[in-house]
Amino acid sequence: MGGASVQESAAAATQFGAFYGECGSIDTAAVVQITGYSGLELVANNGIKCRWETPTGSPYVMFTWFRGSPFEREREVAIRSGKIVEDIEIDGHRAFTSAADGICQVGIADGADFIHWLVRTDTTGVAAASCDTAIGLGERTIGA
C-alpha cells in the first residue's frame, strides 16, 4: 500500500546517542581514581548497568545506560522525589545533578538516550564532593 508504517516513521525519527561501551567505557581502576574510594570492586555488570561496591556495600558507584529513555522524564522523576536538582552541561550535552542524603546522581542526555552515574557516600548529608565525583564520571564517559 506504500508509505512507511507508524513504527518505521518513529524509528527513523529516533536519534540514538553514541555507543559508550561496557560500564560507560570506564574500568574499575578509573572509577577508584575518580571517586577516591579504595576497595571498590565490580559486582554487577550487564549490557546496561555496572555497579561497583566496597566490601561493606557502601560507598558504591553505579553506571546505567538507557536507550530511548527521555531525559526530561528522568529529570522530572528526580524533582518529584524531592531531590535537589541542578541543570548543567557536560561536553555539549544537557545534563543534571540530583542530590539527596549521601547520594548524588548525574544524568546526561545523548539523542534519545540517557546515561546515568550514581555515587553513594558512606556518610549522611548532601556532599558536594559526591556530585563533583558523579560529574567527573559523566565527563569521562562522554569524552571516552
DSSP state string for the chain: --S--HHHHHHHH--B-----GGGG--HHHHHHHH--TT-EEEEE-SSEEEEE-TTS-SEEEEEEETT--HHHHHHHHHHTT-EEEEEEETTEEEEEEEETTEEEEEEEEBTEEEEEEEE-SSSS--HHHHHHHHHHHHHHHH-
**Over residues 86-115, mean pLDDT:** 92
CATH number of the structural domain spanning residue 103: 3.40.1000
User: What is the pLDDT confidence band of residue 119, given thresholds at 50, 70 and 90?
Assistant: very high
Per-residue model confidence as pLDDT tens digits over 74-96: 899 999 999 999 999 999 999 99
The pLDDT value given to residue 7: 47
For residue 98, is it within any domain?
yes
**Over residues 108-120, mean pLDDT:** 90
The pLDDT value given to residue 6: 44
Per-residue model confidence as pLDDT tens digits over 20-70: 778 988 999 999 999 999 999 999 998 789 999 999 888 999 999 888 778
The tally of domains found in the chain comes to 1
| 126 has pLDDT over 80 | no
Domain hosting 56: range is: 17-143
* 128, burial (CB in 10 Å: exposed 0-12, middle 13-18, buried 19+): exposed
For residue 37, is it within any domain?
yes
Question: What Å distances lie between residue 24 and 56, 107, 122, CA to CA?
Answer: 24, 13, 23
For residue 59, is it within any domain?
yes
Instruction: Scan for cell 540530583, then name that residue.
Output: 98
For residue 135, is it within any domain?
yes
